[in-house]
């Protein structure tokens, strides 16, 4: 089992929505999605885990590795709606990872910091989309 993802780049903020199971078979795909976010956005990346069923220890390590990669690029990683079956315990050398109750709370934290204005929006995704809409085709 693997994950599906959608990345949306908005005015100096990115949202990476992930669905499925972030286990050993999905780590590579998640790492690729983080690379996509690095190449196509700016500012913090909120990883929305609302549709994530669960994650393995390796999946959690992939999250902390992503936080390190983003920090090296001068960006940060934040989590929204972590799975109920576990908590993230990053290594001591991991940058801080803010955790929000849900995506709305994460977005609200950034709106208060930059206002409600969103100038541009771009979206990329696998065939699955967290909004439930099937791709046209």
**pLDDT tens digit string along 68-98?**
999 999 999 999 998 876 677 677 788 999 9
- Kindly tell me if the per-residue pLDDT of 129 is higher than 80: no
> Under a CB-based contact definition with an 8 Å cutoff, are residues 70 and 77 in contact?
yes
DSSP 64-108: HHHHHHHHHTT--EEEES--TT------TTSPP--EESSHHHHHH
**How would you classify the pairing of strands 3-10 and 121-125?**
antiparallel
- Kindly tell me if the per-residue pLDDT of 64 is higher than 70: yes
Mean pLDDT confidence for 12-38: 95
CATH 3.30.750.24 holds for 3-118 = yes
Q: How far is CA 50 from CA 21, 79, 84, 85, in A?
A: 12, 10, 10, 13
- pTM of the predicted protein model: 0.81
pLDDT of res. 41: 85
What are the boundaries of each domain within the chain? Answer: 3-118
Residue pointed to by tokens 């390190």: 68
């Amino acid at each position: 089992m693997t994950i599906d993802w959608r990345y949306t780049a908005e005015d100096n903020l990115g949202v990476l929505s992930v669905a499925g199971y972030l286990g050993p078979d999905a780590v590579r795909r998640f790492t690729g999605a983080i690379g996509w976010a690095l190449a196509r956005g700016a500012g913090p990346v909120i990883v929305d885990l609302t549709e994530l069923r669960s994650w393995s220890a390796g999946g959690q390590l992939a999250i902390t590795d992503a936080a390190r990669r983003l920090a090296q690029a001068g960006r940060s990683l934040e989590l929204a709606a972590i799975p109920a079956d576990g908590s993230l315990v990053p290594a001591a050398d991991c940058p801080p990872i803010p955790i929000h109750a849900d995506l709305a709370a994460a977005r609200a934290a950034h709106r208060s910091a930059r206002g409600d204005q969103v100038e541009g929006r771009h979206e990329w995704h696998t065939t699955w989309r967290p909004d439930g809409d099937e791709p046209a085709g």
